[in-house]
A and B are shown apart, each in its own frame.
Chain A
Amino acid sequence: MQINLVYLLILFALQSEMKQESIDKLKILASAARYDVSCASSGSNRPNTGKGLGNAAPWGICHSFTEDGRCISLMKLMLTNHCIYDCAYCANRKSNDIPRTTFTVDEVVDLTIEFYRRNYIEGLFLSSGIIKNPDYTMERMVWVAKDLRVNQNYNGYIHLKSIPGASDQLQQLAGLYADRLSVNIEIATENNLKMLAPDKNYKSILNPMNTIKNKIIENKEERSKFRHAPRFTPAGQSTQLIIGATPDNDKHILNLAGNLYNSKNLKRVYYSGFIPVNSYDKRLPAIIEPPLKRENRLYQADWLFRFYHFTIDEIVNDDHPDLDLEIDPKLSYALRNPWLFPVDINKASYETILRVPGIGVLSAKKIILGRRYNKLNQSHLKKIGVVLKRAKYFITCNELKTPTIHEIQPKNFKKMLLSENKPVKQYHKSLYKQLSLFPIN
């Protein structure tokens, strides 16, 4: 009896210690991963075949929101925050004296499954510091993904952050189990990257990108011939650029992004405002506030050339190398090109209507549909969801004339808008739009 009780008590103590240990581990390795912005879990469509667990919903579900308004969709973890590299912008660099720990493969798998079953998350985003060498690290990440898919019969979302420099073979294996792979470029010019992350170079990043891209193309062909051929990263690949850690201008950054979309078939480029974590490192700028506005403007510009039929050159060019922080890039374009306006809502082409500030993709489509039946006036537009307060200066419709951009003049327009909008609040509101599929207005 006595012995039994003691035994039980020890068991209990062990258990609660284990609990505390796993909570501590989770805290360290979640906090290590939190600066990676790619939260999106959309774009995949992995059905739950038969009686497995989970499916990847194409619209990507947010399951919670942080107090700063970011969508929580994937559980973002690092497998370990030990690292043999010493990147200047990273909290986990080897020269930092911080608590370090490592998950076992089973621990990550367990957390993923248990969180998923409770509808806390849409899936797993796994990255890692580099232990021993890139292959050794990547191999462990692949084990996690494989165990989830093969042993747990899990069909939820998996995003693996590929380790630069890991072998082609491992990249390919990873793509077999993951919905998305990403290789982060981080710094927009190679020289600056070498300066800040001496262990990395563009080759070790672009090579895996190419491997993944080619494999995706190959897989598409395979699947067109054999419908049941296994999928390879159905949600494609993405990358991340840090903004504001180096002097690169928006023109350079957006052109690099455009290039990556085209030549590497990337699904997304993420822009992450630089947050200093190693303020002692003098290679990095001292900043008071992370460049959130700029980050937001870059996302808006990214939308413009991907969904609004703008060319990058129309958004940023030699005369205008940086985005205007005060107003969004579409409005900025309109003010720089006032002769294109006003456009006639009842006649103009879809592409032209898309360029009107205050009209998003959805509204533009509805305008094209709606005007077949009726000549549209302002009250129609309002119901369709056009932001009239802004759009009215750039359009004419079936109605009495209101003052347009020409009567007000571009230079006064910006002033007027900024004074009536209490800008700071306005911008905050739109800050996190990039995280879901909201159109720019």
Chain B
Amino acid sequence: MDLFIYDQTFEGLLTAIQDAFDLNIEPDKILSTKAFQDDLFAIKYYITTDPDKFEKLWEQIKDKSSEQNCQRIFKAFLSELPDIEIIIYNYIKLILETPYNVEVDFSNENLVKLNNIQKKVGREAQRVMMFVRFQKTIDEIFYASFDAKYNVIPLTVAHFRSRFADQKWVIFDTRRKFGYYYDLENVREITIGNQKVSLDSGKVDKDILHISEKLFQKLWKSYYDTINIKERKNLKVHMQFLPKRFWKFLPEKDFKNNLVMN
């Protein structure tokens, strides 16, 4: 059994795959250092992430397929699913070994598998863009946290940056405990050490909320309640479109224990 172990980064994974090609070994498993548990009987390969190898492989994939296809692979990686590495390995192999551009061959099982995963990731990223709610703090930073199924923050930063270019903001993934901060100039990755923000629930202490914040949450909640048309109530559809895991971050859904810590 051949085990490849990489450092959890996308670059690391591609290095591992390139190594597998170079060594001419079919890995049985490719695992991130996070998921790896020692296995006495396996032959282990500890991969050192190498930008050159990554670049080389990435360029080859780009030559053989479209920009969109490269995006697909990256999105699939962000799913963090247990077997995603092998799925990506098989997919990249398929791309490189097929003489024509195979990315539109929807009769290929492997491709359909990867495609379905990346679609789910894409949808989750959209949900984050839809349902993130910023709260204004006293130092005029707009703060938002959310709980995403997949690691989709990297897919949303560009959107928030271009949309909210004139306000400072933070977006924070409570499941993975990291986020990004935009200071009107640059976007940086951050973790939060501030006691005024709960890392689990994403709630912000009311001491550091802007005085207008409560009012606008209330106004939004009133708006939300008002536009409901009773005659058309249909909760099943409602839940399908607005998954429950987002509710605790939405002032319109959860006003009583709303986003403010008491």
Contacts and interface: CB of A to CB of B under 8 A. Distances in A.
A263 interface: no
A67 B165 contact: no
A62 B222 CA distance: 18
Nearest to B184: A51
A432 interface: yes
Contacts of B223: 26-27, 30, 75
Nearest to B242: A65
Interface stretch (B23-31, B32-40, B105-113, B147-155): B105-113
B96 interface: no
B229 A120 contact: no
A302 B229 CA distance: 24
Given A53-B166, A75-B223, A380-B107, A63 B142 contact: no
Given A115-B220, A431-B237, A53 B165 contact: yes
B219 A117 contact: no
Nearest to A430: B237
Contact of A117 (B106, B164, B238): B164
Contacts, number: 156
Interface in B131-184: 131-136, 142, 144, 159, 162-167, 184
A47 B162 CA distance: 8
Contacts of B135: 118
B242 A117 contact: no
A23 B237 contact: no
A231 to B, nearest CB: 18
A67 B107 contact: no
Contacts of B188: none
Contacts of A111: 219
Contacts of A292: 232
A67 B142 contact: no
Contacts of A153: 166
Nearest to A75: B223
Interface in A104-153: 111, 114-115, 117-120, 153
Contacts of A67: 228, 233-235, 238
Contacts of A114: 212, 216
B67 to A, nearest CB: 17
B136 to A, nearest CB: 7
Given A31-B226, A119-B134, A432 B162 contact: no
B19 interface: no
A53 B184 CA distance: 12
Interface in A39-76: 47-48, 50-55, 57, 61-72, 75-76
A275 B136 contact: no
Contacts of A31: 226-227
B250 interface: yes
B222 A118 contact: no
A69 B238 contact: yes
Given A34-B229, A292-B232, A118 B162 contact: no
Interface in A203-256: none
A55 B215 contact: no
Interface string B111-142: 01000000000000010011111111000001
Contacts of A373: 102, 105, 107-108
B68 to A, nearest CB: 13
A51 B164 CA distance: 8
Contacts of A19: 215, 218
A118 B227 contact: no
| Candidate in A66, A75, A370, A372 with the most chain B CB atoms within 10 angstroms | A66
B163 A48 contact: yes
Contacts of A117: 134, 136, 142, 164, 167
Contacts of B41: none
Contacts of B134: 117-119
Contact of B106 (A57, A289, A384): A384
Interface string A402-441: 0000000000000000000000000011011000000000
A200 to B, nearest CB: 24
9 contacts: A23-B219, A62-B130, A64-B131, A68-B232, A289-B231, A369-B105, A372-B105, A380-B107, A428-B236
Interface of A: 19, 22-23, 26-27, 30-31, 33-35, 47-48, 50-55, 57, 61-72, 75-76, 111, 114-115, 117-120, 153, 275, 289-290, 292, 366, 369-374, 376, 380, 383-384, 428-429, 431-432
Q: Which 6 A-B pairs have the closest CB atoms?
A: A69-B237, A68-B232, A374-B107, A370-B106, A65-B241, A34-B227
